[in-house]
Amino acid sequence: MGCFYCSKEKYKNKRKSNGLCEKRLRNLRAFEFKELRDATDGFSRMLKIGEGGFGSVYKGFIKPANGKGDSIVVAVKKLNPNGLQGHKEWFAELQFLGVVEHPNLVKLIGYCAVDSERVVQRLLVYEFMSNKTLGDHLFNKAYPSLPWNIRLQIALGAAEGLLYLHEGLDIQVIYRDFKASNVLLDEKFKPKLSDFGLAREGPSAGNTHVSTAVLGTYGYADPDYVETGHLTVKSDVWSFGVVLYEILTGRRSFERNRPPNEQKLLEWVNQYPTDSKRFNRIIDVRLEKKYSLRAAREIAMLANCCLSKKARDRPKMREVVEGLKRAMTFEELDGEVETAEEDAPPCSDIERPSDEAVVAKSSTRRMIQLAKLSESADSILKRRFVIMKLAGNPT
């Protein structure tokens, strides 16, 4: 199997890199299907820990490569045999994770590929991440809320993982599916990017983008990429901006069960500018005001830069990392209680009457006033008539 960035046809001068890739790929374990079936108790539902377009993920227990010592806990991803994109994504993950190496990328341990007349099996084996995903802790109330400092550490680690993909290899790697559910957390809540099925090699020399079919997740995909099909590393930067706001607010990028003006996260946060007194209304209430307001403003401004409409106006991931580090220097937990004035909804939330409604209401008031004047005049005339009649017919 050829390496994704060491193809001899395209990179004849990268023999050193080619050798490194082949060495890393050789370090992957080739598992027998029976071995992984036994490791997951027959792919038991009790051991299922995740599911996606690729297939299902199971917790498993394998023996060390040398057969000595205690079993190792792993995560086993099993391809859905009926999936159309499954094999392509399995192969992409094997190519990318088989050669990359970084503390903030999930480690691929091995793989399994079985081709027979009856069935085709494709599996990948990863290191096990005991604290699930960032999405679980942000959006699922069954999980404890992440403290402020842990959220920032997760954001920084994820940013450094993307930076490595963009600048730390011989070529650029575009992740293309950055979202909270793809950020795994280990026992110390250290983040690691996972699920590289949609990853793509960046543009070759002289090109500004990769033209490709639009793939990704709704709410996280770069609008410029969706509109043009032009994929760049700045597409990852846009997705990162979305997740930064998810970390601040504890809300998903899109939540259908919220009021219409709150369903789309980015539209909702725009109602509370970073320099306004209302800004702290967007901060996750589960933080219980234990956060740095100044750092939160810095992170929101950084997110806004990442979400710039034009890709060229977005920062590089190196600049994002530097911005997060600056924000983390503000350590005071000064989350404030909103004042009564700040509790008032933003202007855009206040339903203002139309000009036609104002005119109609004014006209109605005038009609009521004229009716009252008419009633008063009629009453006076009636009293005068009674007095005149009594004066002409004394008793």
Q: Where do the domains of the chain lie?
A: 1-128, 129-352, 353-395
CA distance 248 to 284: 6
The pair of structure tokens assigned to 166 is 């963009």
**CATH of span 1-128:** 3.30.200.20
| Residue in 70, 115, 177, 378 annotated catalytic | 177
Distances (CA, A) of 374 to 52, 125, 387: 75, 89, 20
Which residue bears the tokens 């106006």? 313
H or E element that contains 57? strand 55-62
Residue 378 annotated as catalytic? no
- Return phi, psi of residue 179, to 5°: -160, 165
Residue the block writes with tokens 């920084």: 156
Task: Give the Cβ contact number of residue 375 at 10 Å.
Answer: 10
For the record, the structure tokens of 194 come out as 């996972």
What ranges make up the beta strands (E) of 142-198? 173-174, 183-185, 191-193
pLDDT of residue 174: 92
Please list the pLDDT of the chain residue by residue as tens digits (395 residues): 334 334 333 333 344 445 445 556 668 999 999 999 999 999 999 999 988 767 899 999 999 988 888 999 999 999 887 665 667 788 888 888 888 899 999 999 999 998 876 778 899 999 999 999 999 999 999 999 999 999 999 999 999 999 999 999 988 899 999 999 999 999 999 999 998 888 888 886 766 677 676 777 888 988 888 888 889 999 999 999 999 999 999 999 999 999 999 999 999 999 999 999 999 999 999 999 999 999 999 999 999 999 999 999 999 999 999 999 999 999 888 886 444 344 444 433 434 444 454 445 555 555 555 455 555 545 544 555 444 444 455 44
3-class SS of residue 370: helix
Q: Supply the pLDDT for residue 337.
A: 45
The CATH code that applies to domain 129-352 is 1.10.510.10
Beta strand residue intervals within 175-282, DSSP E: 183-185, 191-193, 200-201, 210-211, 230-231
In this prediction, residue 378 carries a pLDDT of: 54
Q: Which is nearest to 240 in space by CA: 165, 308, 148, 158?
A: 158
319: its two tokens: 């600049």
CA–CA–CA angle 206, 210, 216 (5° rounding): 155
> What CA–CA distances, in Å, run from 356 to 347, 349, 361, 363?
20, 20, 9, 11
CATH fold match for the domains 1-128 and 129-352: no
Q: What count of other Cβ atoms lies within 10 Å of the Cβ of residue 29?
A: 13
Write phi, then psi, for 293 (nearest 5 degrees). Answer: -65, -40
Helix, strand, coil distribution of the chain in percent, nearest 5:
45, 15, 40
pLDDT at 292: 97
- List 62's β-bridge partners, or say none: 72
User: Would you state the pLDDT for residue 206?
Assistant: 65
Measured between alpha carbons, how far is 113 from 382 in angstroms, rounded to an integer? 104
Count how many residues are written for the chain.
395
pTM for the structure as a whole:
0.78
The CA angle 164-166-171, to the nearest 5 degrees, is 105
Tell whether 179 is in a known binding site.
no
